[in-house]
Structure formats: C-alpha cells, structure tokens
Amino acid sequence: MEISIWQAVILGILEGLTEFLPVSSTGHLTIAEGLMGIPIDDKGVTAYTAVVQMGAIAAVYVYFWKDLVRMVTAWFRGLFNPARRQDFDYRFTWYVIAGSIPIGIVGFFGEKIITGPFRSLWVVAFSLILWSGVMAFADHAATHQRKERDLTLKDTLWIGFAQCLALIPGISRSGATISVGLLRDLDRTTAANLSFYLSLPAVTAAGFYQLPEALDGGVGAAPIIIGLIVCFVVAYFAIKWLLAYIKKHSIMVFVWYRVGLGLLLITLLVTGVLQPT
C-alpha cells in the first residue's frame, strides 16, 4: 500500500506529537489512516506505523544524549570493575535493560495478534476510554514520594510489564508506563523519564524489525524518510514540552482528552463515517 508524501507528513506530525504524550500514538495514527482512506489492516501500513516511530526515538537519543552517554559509560565500567557497580548509573542501566525484556518477548510471540485482530478502530476506541480510568486512578493514588535514585529493579520490571499493554492500540506506551510508575509512588518526572528510557530498546527494535515489511509492502522509501524527519523534529519539542508540563501538572488533562477522543471515535464508527478496519 503506497503512502503519499502529504500523508507521510501528517502521520509524522501526529506520531511526533503523541508518541510520548499518554494519549496513544498508535491510536492516533490508526484513526488518521482510517480518515485518509489508508487500509489500517494492511501489513505494509502496520509496518510503516512502527517504522515512523523511530523518528520519535531518535529525538529521545538526541535530547537525553549526555545522560545516555553517562549511563552507558558507567555500565561498561561496572562490567569490568566490581568497585564501579555501586554507581547508581550502572544499576539504573541494568534496570532499563531488564525492564525492556518483557515487551520484546510479548511483541515477538504476539505479533500475529498485534498486527491482526488488534488493528481495529473499535479496539482503539475502547482502549482509549478504559485505560483512562487506570490513569485517573494512578494520578489520584500517587504519593510522588520516590525519586529517580529510589528506583529498584522491581519498579522497572513492573513498568516493563505495563509497557507490554501498549501493544494494544489505544492504551499508550507512555500512558501505561507513567501510570504504573505513579502507582509505584514515583514522582511524575521520574516516571516520565523512565518511560523515555524504556522506549529506546523497544521502539528501536520494533522499527528495524518492521522496516523490511514497510518497504516490501509498497509504502515507498520517500514516505518513510519524510515521516521520520518530520516525526523527529516534532517529537523533540514534544519531549521538551512534556517534561516541563508534567513537573507542575497532573495527567488528568490527558485523561479527559482520551475519553473525548474515544467517544468521538465510537460515534464515527456507529454512524459509518469510519470503518473499523
């Protein structure tokens, strides 16, 4: 299925805006594809949705570059020098690695379900609404008492398992990880930062894995490149905005947005304006 340049620009903007906001980037892209007449259950289109996310991930690498270099350096030092293993960055890097394993396993073995039955706008609509309840509860129950240096392996494993839920379109990877982070009593900034770090292995691997499918599916190299570039630029500023916003505000604005979008989507499906697949 071929995607035009103007469609790639729109999808790149949407992906960049929504990848790290807890509103479901896959859900937004699926809705946009449906509105533009792009078959959302086409394998090439499904692959393109995964590939274009790499633009957002590239923005994370650039935005957190200094932190990532410090973490990786500490990790390598700790591997060869036992005295360095007390360094928090060494342990934190292991936490990120461990927390990334669940989604890798579930994503690999559940690929047929993820790219099949889950590629429905009905799934997106109900996921948007139902997970909003979890986000609202997490925002209300959170104590925000624990900071980044209070993180444990157990925290990242719980959040890593939550990330698996984001394979269902509409739930939102950041929405799932931030919510569980808040339920673990992490402050919003720590929960958001951990969400960013956990996105790196998962989305990078998914993008490279789906790239051949996107090219073989007839999407075309030009739409992929355009989508990645647009997504990268928009995502960089979205990251900056989210980190500034979440320091002082709750996530309830995203909850109400998700509910409104889910109800609107149900209306469009019921009235026949949009088809489920």
Condensed to tens digits (0 to 9), the pLDDT of residues 35-80 reads 888 887 777 777 888 888 889 999 999 999 999 999 999 999 999 9
- Is residue 211's pLDDT more than 80? no
Mean pLDDT along residues 174-197: 93
Domain assignment present for 275: no
Domain assignment present for 46: yes
Domain assignment present for 228: yes
**Residues 269/125, Cβ–Cβ less than 8 Å:** yes
Residue 49 CA to residue 8 CA, distance in Å, equals 10
**Number of structural domains found in the chain:** 1
Domain assignment present for 277: no
- Is residue 2's pLDDT more than 90? no
Alpha helix ranges (H) inside 64-172? 65-80, 88-109, 111-114, 121-141, 153-164
Mean pLDDT along residues 12-33: 89
Q: Which residue has the tokens 């925002």?
A: 139
**Residues 22/179, Cβ–Cβ less than 8 Å:** yes
Domain assignment present for 45: yes
Nearest alpha-carbon partner for 57 in 161, 156, 243, 198: 198
Residue 34 CA to residue 233 CA, distance in Å, equals 24
Residue 160 CA to residue 158 CA, distance in Å, equals 5
Residue 249 CA to residue 214 CA, distance in Å, equals 38
For residue 145, report the phi and psi dihedrals to the nearest 5 degrees.
-80, -25
3-state secondary structure of 249: coil
What are 43's two structure tokens?
């394998």
Residue 230 CA to residue 52 CA, distance in Å, equals 9
pTM over 0.85: yes
Query: How do residues 216-256 score in pLDDT, each as one tens digit?
Result: 766 778 888 999 999 999 999 999 999 999 988 899 999 99
> Which residues does residue 186 pair with via DSSP β-bridges, in sequence order?
146
Average pLDDT over all residues of the chain: 88
Tell me how far the alpha carbon of residue 207 is from its chain's centroid. Answer: 12
**pLDDT recorded at residue 51:** 85
Domain assignment present for 48: yes
**pLDDT recorded at residue 180:** 95
Instruction: Tally Cβ neighbours within 10 Å of residue 76.
Output: 13
Query: How do residues 95-132 score in pLDDT, each as one tens digit?
Result: 999 999 998 888 777 666 666 667 788 999 999 999 99
Q: Which domain holds residue 250?
A: 5-270
Amino acid code (one letter) for 141: A
Mean pLDDT along residues 134-146: 93
